[in-house]
Amino acid sequence: MAEFKNYKEVAFLLSKAVQGQLTEKEEETLGKWRQEFPENELLYRRVLTSEFIISKSKQWEQVDLVMAYLKVRQKCEHRLRRVRLFQVTAVAVSVLLLLVSGLFYFVLRDKSDRYPLGLMTENILPGNVKAELILADGERILLGGPGVDSVLIQPGAEIHTAKERLSYIGRQQTGKIQYNILQIPRGGEYSVTLQDGTVVNDKNTISLGKVVIGTVKVWLNSMTEFRFPVAFTGEERKVYLTGEAYFQVAKDKEHPFIVVTGEAEIEALGTSFNIYSYEEENRIETTLVEGAVRFAVADQTVILMPGEQGVVGTDGNLEKKKVDVFPYIAWKEGKFVFRKRSLEEVMHIISRWYNVEAVFQNESLKKVSFSGNLKRYDDFEHIVSMLEMTGGIRFKVEGRKIFITEK
């Protein structure tokens, strides 16, 4: 454990670690402290969780920070000469927790001055399961609300609707291709299973007594439009996407699965991957989890392997890079995971999910870096509290507008 005189410094570094704002020198200093004792590493991991920060901030409502700190310090100094190492470590840990949670408390404490308590939790809720299905003939069906499961029959397909997902069984047909559209609004999410109708009989049956091959499972994020044919025809299975979706594609070499988004095409053969393609952000990201995909735009083509990402930016150039895939697919698991993302990028994602509008005071605030793990279904108040730890920024809520200003 670091010497007592360094506890305050360590607490400060821990608070910066939560915000993702450590310099290289600070990371080195904190790294040395983490390696000194196992207890240090455990404390580091405990502090870097939203649950710890929120719980500690609530506890501090009834505590005088300065007096509590002085009492613990006096106790620590008194025992320092006559207790064993593990006892000293235990007291030191309590001091660090006191300091770190105290720092967080003072960051969070003044939020009541910026918006009425209860306004956000009452009116700004996380997204939920909802979508609208637009059939090829123009009929519109709302999905995701309370109700019973149903089966719809349209020429060339059967549609099984449930609250959280849609199962679509197409039949091979010839002739003009017709499309259905699944639209996910702001504050919504939905999933769909596409089955191309190629079947084999089997006693271990699913889906109307048959095992369906050529299955594609798709998870759709907020503000997404997914267009797919009433029935796949020919050798290709081609769909169209605007927004964000995670795909699991069963192997079918004879019928390649292709996603068209913007000017790009992503071709998959037995793979899992995420596509992020919102028009207002002017970029397309394809992140591969397993298998392989061919990512093509204009005259540029790359083959992605697991752990790689293809990105098309505003300049139209296609780049491939290695990434940690989890931050890009965490939304499907009910989490937000940000690693040195700009506040503008973060607010695009948060705004769509909570159905709010972010308004920046000036352009420089958009470039503020943020790192952290948040729960996708947390109250908006918790999300704002964590974001404010970035430092130097303040959130003010007026209706469904979030004004982001400098402190």
**Position 121 in a domain:** no
Instruction: Identify the domain boundary among 328, 350, 371.
Output: 328
Q: What is the CATH number of the domain that holds 373?
A: 3.55.50.30
Domain extent for 348: 334-406
Same-domain pairing of 314 and 352: no
- Token couple for 190: 């939905």
If one counts the domains in the chain, the total is: 3
Q: What is the pTM of this model?
A: 0.68
**Position 118 in a domain:** no
Same-domain pairing of 307 and 371: no
The angle formed by the CA atoms of residues 317, 319 and 323, to the nearest 5 degrees, is 150
pLDDT of residue 365: 93
Same-domain pairing of 324 and 338: no
Same-domain pairing of 294 and 206: yes
Same-domain pairing of 83 and 184: no
* Residues across the chain: 407
Which pLDDT tens digits describe the chain residue by residue (407 residues)? Answer: 444 345 567 777 777 776 677 888 888 888 888 877 666 776 777 666 544 554 544 444 444 444 444 454 455 555 544 444 444 445 555 555 555 555 544 444 444 444 443 344 347 889 999 999 898 888 888 887 655 455 555 555 666 666 566 666 655 555 677 888 999 999 999 988 887 544 333 333 232 333 334 588 899 999 999 998 877 777 788 999 999 999 999 887 888 899 999 999 999 977 899 999 999 998 999 999 999 999 999 999 999 999 999 999 888 899 999 999 999 999 999 999 999 999 999 999 999 999 999 999 999 999 999 988 999 998 888 888 888 877 788 898 888 999 999 88
**Position 116 in a domain:** no
Same-domain pairing of 161 and 247: yes
**Position 117 in a domain:** no
Same-domain pairing of 287 and 187: yes
Q: What is the CATH number of the domain that holds 308?
A: 2.60.120.1440
Same-domain pairing of 156 and 290: yes
**Position 114 in a domain:** no
**Position 271 in a domain:** yes
**Position 251 in a domain:** yes
